[in-house]
Chains A and B, each alone.
Chain A
């Protein structure tokens, strides 16, 4: 495994008395896709929220060698980590273009030129031509698939080193899910590292390089994605017979 870009060790996240995530240690190597699969309520979204600084947690989180636990979400975005949340969290009353522009907010604030942002915008449009057509449209009027594209596009505008994706397939037709996952694989090939959270275990493991299984807040299994795809326990619980 190449050097880890994100390294989480012994992470605990609690909502009051209830520990939703316990003793989780995982890593995302540079330029690879790691996925966390698991049933509803296993703590997957909580895990991502904690890594992204949206929820308080205990444990250590290293990003590009730097200890970042306790950092604000905004500081993590500046360092090169972005999250595409399950609910997308788009700015519905703003246009597609404005949403994308705001994706580059922290780059603009740290002094990058407009031209650099326009370059990234072109890259995003090349990846999702549909967004280019929809530029002047309000984000709230987009279809589910287009919204997911916009959410991913907005995250990419920050030029992240690590992309955290929470259930990109949620509520989308299988064909669109396949497209989006294919795009993510394409992004990996350009050097982006991805931590992908998915309920759709088969699709996730087919896309990812490495996988973790999260059950009731703890990691129960991990291994190369191909191995997990053929692991009997994974097949029995998450993949079913084909």
Chain B
């Protein structure tokens, strides 16, 4: 391997690592607030890429039907559980079914009017983000106080359901979206693609934005408070459902952006989400599902390992990446003290 190849692999690794980094941060966020190991994180990435691809091919994205289905089932669940309290029922619907239905309308409008690329991108982010509250409402709100194991099992189930819905609404074909830019720059003998730079820039921007959100906004502090002390949070009036829904919605938004970033780099199928999410998960595990900076660094490391192992032993790429988790778990089991589940 010479320096040029090493530089290329590094660039590749950093690009993928940046995306895993975003996913790792989303996983840490959702786990800290809800104790859910959010397996379906990758599905948001996939739905985002598939939605934008459908826009580009002038087709109506399957997202419309997916959103309508989520909105309808969430509304039905609200009617079933809250029909005695119409006010609360309407409030719950306004937070879950309504955004999903509006997003479906938006996607339909943007697709049928064949609007510009920028608007398609924004509609994609809105559509995938709007899935967050409905997924929380349907899958996790009813069992919010269950054990971590139960939450994990449901999380796996949600992953399978969403993958199945992905196949139903988007079909089995793989897609690649157009790159945001085809520019490339040369430094010495190494060329750096504009898309990679864009990925880095977006990642840095999102990481900083998340940091500011948690540090300075009321809702950001409310999420930190819920993660730190659930009872304390309830006592100041932060509803665990509000915090849970907000955290999964944020993670859906992060998934949507990640999907837009990864779409031009890799071919995305309806079931690609699991592997992408799992690599974010390895990063999150490095941070013990608790530390944002360590999770971010871990995820970027995962990207680099993946890229270099695809050069040296491409057949074993995934094996090498996922084997990373074993030394990390060993190290963590020796260095962290066991804490009892609440």
**Residues of A that sit less than 8 Å from B by CB:** 52, 54, 72-74, 77-78, 82-83, 85, 89-94, 98, 101-106, 108-109, 154-155, 157-158
Contact = CB atoms under 8 A, between A and B. Distances in A.
Contacts of A85: 231, 235
A61 to B, nearest CB: 17
26 contacts: A52-B235, A54-B231, A72-B239, A73-B234, A74-B237, A74-B239, A74-B242, A77-B235, A83-B235, A85-B235, A89-B229, A89-B235, A91-B224, A91-B225, A94-B228, A102-B233, A102-B238, A103-B236, A104-B236, A105-B218, A106-B236, A106-B237, A108-B218, A154-B236, A155-B235, A157-B236
A105 B217 CA distance: 11
A91 B234 contact: no
Contacts of A158: 236-237
A102 B235 CA distance: 10
A91 B231 contact: no
Nearest to A107: B237
Given A73-B234, A157-B236, 14 more contacts: A77-B236, A82-B236, A89-B231, A90-B232, A91-B224, A91-B225, A91-B232, A94-B224, A94-B225, A102-B236, A106-B238, A108-B218, A109-B218, A158-B237
B223 to A, nearest CB: 11
B59 interface: no
Contacts of A155: 235
B85 to A, nearest CB: 10
B218 A92 contact: no
A77 B237 contact: yes
Given A54-B231, A85-B231, A93-B228, A98 B221 contact: yes
B222 interface: yes
B232 A89 contact: yes
A92 B237 contact: no
A104 B237 CA distance: 8
A105 B235 contact: no
A108 B224 CA distance: 17
B202 to A, nearest CB: 28
A94 B235 contact: no
Nearest to B238: A105
A129 B89 CA distance: 44
B37 to A, nearest CB: 22
Which 4 residue pairs spanning A and B have beta carbons closest together?
A: A106-B237, A89-B232, A77-B237, A74-B239
Of A73, A101, A102, A104, most buried by chain B (CB within 10 Å of CB) is A102
B234 A102 contact: no
Nearest to B222: A105
Contacts of A154: 236
Interface string B218-255: 10011011001101111111110010000000000000
Contact of B234 (A74, A90, A93, A104): A74
Of B221, B232, B233, B237, most buried by chain A (CB within 10 Å of CB) is B237
A108 B242 CA distance: 15
A91 B234 CA distance: 12
Contact of B236 (A52, A72, A93, A105): A105
A105 B231 contact: no
Contact of A73 (B225, B235, B242): B235
Contacts of B237: 73-74, 77-78, 105-106, 109, 158
